[in-house]
Structure 1
Amino acid sequence: MDTGPGFFLSPFPDETLHSLLSRYCRLTGFASVRQAFSNVEHSYTFTRNTSFPCHLKESERLLKPVTGLDTNALISRHTLLPYFQPFMSPEQLVMTRRQMESRNGQGLKMRLGLIASSLERYVRVRFCPVCLAEDDQKHGQAYWHRVHQLPGVWICPHHVQPLSIIEPVWIRDKATRCFLPTDDNLDAHALALEVSAIQRDRLYRLAALSWSALDRDCDPLQHHVLQQNLLRGAQAHALVSSTGRLRLTPLADMLSIYFKGLPSAGEFSRLCPVRAKQAPSWVLKLLRKPRGAHHPLHYLLLADALELNFDDLAVQRSVQMPMSKSIATKVTAKTGGLAHTLKEMYSEGHSLRQIGAVTGVSVSTLHVYAVQLGIHVRARPSILLPALRQQIRDQLVSGKAFSEVATDCSVSLASVYRVLRMETDLKDMLSGLRVERDRENRRLRFIMERERNTAAHACTDYAWLYRNDRVWLKGKVQCIRKIARKRTAVIDWPSLDRELSLRIRECVSSLRARPGKPLRISVALIGRELNSSTLFEKKLLLLPICSLELKATCETLDQFHHRRIEWAAKELRARNAIFGAATLLRFAAIRPPEGNAASYLMKLINEA
């Protein structure tokens, strides 16, 4: 559509593409988005308020004459792609930009791993009330900011104020319409996010970190670089051992304390630890070996928990990992220092292997040197005698863990595995015992859940038992019958009845006071206005107060016709028009059932 040089639309800093198109629609003077973009193909793909608008070549043809922005500028300055691209692969970024420029968005979020993260369901339209006032004063117009639409951003990073959101149920039905945050019909559907004083500081740090990722517009970072930088942060908090293994229990404790300072609703409900003393699986995937795509919020949350900023995440360092602070301070290369280091670290409970990793001396040399210094070091046999092998075998069969067996028999863990390889039948025996113990545990858990009145199919181990232990399962299902239980009402119908009756009364008053041609007040119209049509159709017997209110307020056909005629007569008199009965009924859009306009009109007047 050729807009001509009648106006110039100046893009605002950090403005979303949806906000830019909304202002364009207002300046063109069209009453709706469909009229403003009627001649633009695929306009629905970039007018919707989404993270990855597509077919931007079409929007470039529309906006470049009035904004001077090409497709690359639109993507970099007015979409959320700069927030995601540091954590993409170069191939993913090229594919995403190509799809945003000239294709639709089908399958895009799936390939980027956003659907699998389950965070897209918590996307909300947000704004900062302080930003609205500041934008209106500085630019003469309030607009939608990109940083406020990022997942996990509940606090404005510029004013440290909680954001407000638009009711998702209300705006979901209006996805193709263009809104600005100062529109009158948005005020009634804006909700302020509840943020406590304890949560404010942590949410602000996360918002500032998200703003850094968005504002930098940096190139994709290599996954191994991100992993190394996150491991350095974990190392600084003593969450990684000297051998490079994660210390899972301290890591889970640290994350549990961290998530207590975050809200338990929205996107944070999907990210917090599910079980006590266990770190979330996405944290372990990032720290061990990232595979595939991960949502940027995963990286930023973990970085904030480890007290890292965006520069710490993006910097490339050498491959060598730093040692823990408690061990690295004792590193020495001299013989005199080695004796002191060996005595001190061994007295603190460090193993010879840990001491060797610090000093660069082999475990065998340290063992000989410890004996010379008079340090009592537990000796381990170099030859596995038959009696020792039998002892290890018996303890393994009894169900002990491999580490416990190594400690009790005074051998290394490698020796326990060596016995396992030497004894050909031991591996099969342990596998059978492990399966048997697993079966017994699952049976016991099924019986306990079933006795708690849980349906058989809802029990945790029902599917496994059905596949592997079906005979026992059928017998137990027959023995343990389900106990009849009294269902509790999920909905408080009396309270809902009282609340909904008040809303019906307010809705009827609003409909009667609405300017323009009157509409007939009916159950269907009230249901549509209150978004309660299903309740009125199927559950009205449970809402007696609402039923009486609807009967009292809904109009008969004659009552509606009389109100419509009063409006028509008032409008015609305001226009100084001369009218008769037929003209009055035609202007009121009423067709008399008898076909005689004058008689029907007199009947309505007499009944009134």
Structure 2
Amino acid sequence: MDIFPNETIPSFMARTQLLAIHKRADSFYQSVLDCSYTQTCGVATYRLKKLSQLLRMDLDKIITEHTAYPYFAHYMPEKHARSLREAISGDKPKVLEIETGSVNSRLSIPGYHSFCPLCAEHDIETHGVAYWHQIHALPGVSACHIHKCKLIRTEIRPKILAIPNVNHAEAHEASDKEVLFAQLSAQLCQNFTGANQSTTERVKHYKQQLESTGYISTAGYIRRQELLSNIRSFWSDLLNQTDFANVRASGTEHNFVRDALRPSHRTHPVKHILLSGFLNHCDHRIARLHSVDAKPQKQQTGDNNHKLVIKLLRDGVSLTKAARESGISYYTVRKLAKLHGIQHRARPKKITPEQERQVLELLKTGLSMKKAGERVGLPESTVDNLLLSHPEIRAARRRLKKTRHTEQLDQLRDKALSLIQNNPDMTRKSLTDSFPEVFIWLRNRDKEWLYKHLPKALTPSQAQSHRYKHQHDLWKNRQRKAIKGLRRLVLCMMTSPPENQRLSVSYILQALKVRNPQTHIRKTMPAFWRQLTRFAETHEDFQLRKLHVLYKAEPTLFSIYSARRLLKMASSFPPVSGSVLEQAQALQKRDFNYQRPTEQQWLLLRDTRIHSVRKRCSQPYRRNRSFKDVYQNPP
């Protein structure tokens, strides 16, 4: 049985199962690939090497044409791409969300299959059956760039393999931005060459484009607020979808543009597509013109702005002109004029009685001042000044707003209760992610009521177990592997330690390629953490080792220079305690005694008993305890 062009691995397995005698997916995978093979997602899964042998196909062809490896590896550094390739083709199950960088970027791998109705018809005519295409399973893709229609999504059900159900499938036209995003995503898979562009060159290319389009100032700073505003306007059809809920497209500091412009940061391809698509397919002259008209840039801030506004108003400048020249909002300028008793023109533009009547009728319906002015052809400031002269309409608008808010609150409360009752197995986070239009609105406006009726929040341990419920022995295997690597590193460092590098906890973790935070390691791998801290050097140990190397290399220096001068020679930083200084003075007297006991290193090779993390945190190791006490009464 052959695999079709651009077909996903789960799709091929689903078609193969239809011809097999096994009805369960796990037993089918066990008979074919000697594994349960339950991890089905938009990337692929492991044991592709075994699959390539069964199909007599090249492994590189399967990985590049039938998985999302080219999509994720396009912007990856070489070592991360190699790790992802090994996870896909190897025999050991690994968490592909971590290997692809989706966890760090808060953009999960799609938990659904997607197909295009028109592509499915073509597949049936050509191959006799419809199947899942890999370019339709990429993150955030909701349209087919070939036929420009929306994709039909089907949720992935664990241990159940299925092919697309084309019955009652209708084709609906997709928006231009959805088609553009799907086209850019597909290009990452189709144009993969294996040689990735360096992150430094990519960031340099981005900055050249930003500079040519005017988003970098003369001082070399990126105009983030204007750039993000134009990006949100350009991708407005996409950013409102749930697939992009975790993409930070607002804010001047924490946003996806900052992540894409960091050379040493592994960024999700979705963020690169959003940025490169905006830079290459947007008319920046029109976008910047709308941005400047919508929000003038501030020239000054603080008290100087208020003084400038007061001076302009006393010179007879209108409120709108004073706000534009000072960079302060129109309403703040009007407030300052009222506070200092400065007379100003209440109506800078003449309006006809018909316009006034139409504006008042629109304001009574609760329409905003800006939209009411746009319908009649008046600026918002004129509508606001007109509303000041009708306090009864302002009071009625407030009551109407309060009534509508109450009605919407009651409606969403009822809808939230029905959703909670109809989905008793869903957690608090899954409910919020599945129905954000209901629960996020209530969380922002009625948080106390919402948390009272939502399911009880999971504890951190429950959430962790729920997340890795199919991988109970994950952290045990990781701890066993980390301890083996640590013992190999210990044997290497005891014979030839690095000359100008302290054997700190961070350095050892980096050498072992353990990327988890230290607090997480203490909880999940306590035995590994206990052995790690026994071998790690303190600043004093590092100083003494440097001093020892200097004494072996140039012993005559200890009879010429002072102890403090020797420490400056032996290390790039000053001594951290008096014990190091005492050791230097002892070496001057030819009393050599290195203070790093080898028994502590020997302890690392012993089998240690496992105890609870709580006991470890409540009884920390004290350095003033003797080696005999540590050996007889371990912490």
TM bin (shorter chain): 0.3 to 0.5
Q: What is the TM-score when the length of structure 2 is the normalising length? A: 0.43
Structure showing greater Rg: 1
Of structures 1 and 2, the one scoring higher in RCO (CA 8 A, sep 6+) is: 1
**TM-score, normalization by structure 1:** 0.45
